[in-house]
Structure 1
Amino acid sequence: MSRIRRVTSPAVPEPPPGLWSNCRVVDGIAYLSGFTARDQALRAPEGADMEAQARIIFGKMQALLEAAGGCMADMVKLTIFVTDIAQREAVWKARREFFTGDFPACSLVEVSALAEPSILVEIEGVAHLGASRG
């Protein structure tokens, strides 16, 4: 029987109780919620551009995957939501800092708005823990 495990990391702010989980793992698959660059106080970053926000988000994903026993190379799928598709190269630049070799499957979607006006990018992912090592 499969068991669902919630994964947390001190480096990643937890949502208020009862809203959602940042990371859930079942049968070696980690499902990562849509992340933004909000800080520990859940404040959106003032003045941070899309590249800086994407870098913060990938850092959060890395912390959760490591807490789950995996790594960024285990990521198999990303879905990226941006408020300005013309700035997508900024996201790709940040992504190249966290992934090398074969990149995960990826969708990029432009949306009219995210949770707050200062949030420019949101990223969610799916990883197969340990897959990159075996």
Structure 2
Amino acid sequence: MHITLGNPATAPQPLSPYYSQVARVQHADGSALLFLSGQIAEGATLAEQTQGVFETIDALLRAHGATLADVINIRTYLTDISKLDEYGAVRRKFLTGTPPTSMTFEVPKLFRPEAQVEVEVVAAVPAAG
């Protein structure tokens, strides 16, 4: 097993220099687990922010040879749980297959005061072949 931490040049860069966006746990058989840090995005509405978050997650996964179909776990932090349906409508556009395991939390605030949603995921990348 080999662990790599980093920020792919082909994806939006982190908002702070104090964390890595992706931890890749590479297994001897060629498969890997990707752990993505929580992602936030700009936008006036929750739907706009959610769209940006999933676009960033998609770019981070693709930089490691994965897709949104490889997501096995998702954790969502919302500042207003009453907007869960609005968030869910956008999420379903990106996660179209069998839903991954999931947890959703309501939190009083996030890293940036204007952020309404933060999402972190774990993806399983199969061995090539």
Shorter-normalised TM range: 0.7 to 0.9
Q: Structure 1 residue 129: deviation in Å?
A: 1.1
Residue 123 of structure 1 corresponds to 119
Counterparts of residues 1-134 of structure 1 (less than 5 Å): 2-5=1-4, 6-17=6-17, 19-27=18-26, 28-37=32-41, 45=42, 48-130=44-126
Identity percentage of aligned residues: 32
Number of positions where the alignment pairs a residue of Structure 1 with one of Structure 2: 123
The aligned amino acid for 2:10 is: P
Unaligned runs of 5+ in 1: 38-44
1:23 & 1:129 partners in 2: Cα distance? 13
Q: Structure 1 residue 4: deviation in Å?
A: 1.3
Unaligned runs of 5+ in 2: 27-31
The SS at the match of 1:93 is: helix
Given that 1:9 and 1:63 are in contact with CA atoms closer than 8 Å, whether structure 2 keeps it comes out as no
The aligned amino acid for 1:4 is: I
The SS at the match of 2:94 is: coil
- TM-score between both structures, scaled by the size of structure 2: 0.87
The SS at the match of 1:64 is: helix
Residue 29 of structure 2 corresponds to none
The SS at the match of 1:77 is: strand
C-alpha RMSD over aligned residues: 1.9
- TM-score between both structures, scaled by the size of structure 1: 0.84
2:101 & 2:80 partners in 1: Cα distance? 21
